[in-house]
Amino acid sequence: MTHATKPFIIGSATRTKSGAIPNGQVGLGLALCKLVIKAHNGMISAKSDNKNGAVFKFTLPINKIMHSQVQKWGNSLGIRIPKTIAQKLRLHSGSHVELDMINQRIVITKSNLELDLLLDRIDSTNFHHENFTDDSNVGNESW
């Protein structure tokens, strides 16, 4: 850990409403996530309410990747991406991808028209795609 990151991490880990650290946790997890995501020019956001708890979302920019990388990426998530789709699904610079490991979904925001048209044509038995708009994002959700 560099000297420059210590104040950020320690400062983030000690901020709570009551001033106490809950359950003996030091709170470094999100501080480290934020540091890593920002270092990769990504974005992180949080939503919280008293009934349902907190939801943390992050996106990471990706460069243009080849179809073999798309397939390996899908396999690592337990998602089968057919080769014909993977060859066409080359994500370009400026796209952001969010991985939802629990629901095995891939969310692509800031995509381009070519990618939108491709996702609309994909066979729905293998891959579901829909455009979405919520409070903070407009994009595509696919699973």
Whether the pTM exceeds 0.75: the reply is no
Residue 14 banded pLDDT, cuts 50, 70, 90? very low
Which residues, including other chains, have CB under 8 Å from residue 26's CB and lie 6 or more apart? 13
Per-domain boundaries in the chain: 1-39, 59-142
Distances 66 to 36, 41, 51, 74 between C-alpha atoms, Å: 24, 21, 43, 13
pLDDT digits (tens, 9 = 90+) for 18-38: 555 556 565 667 777 777 777
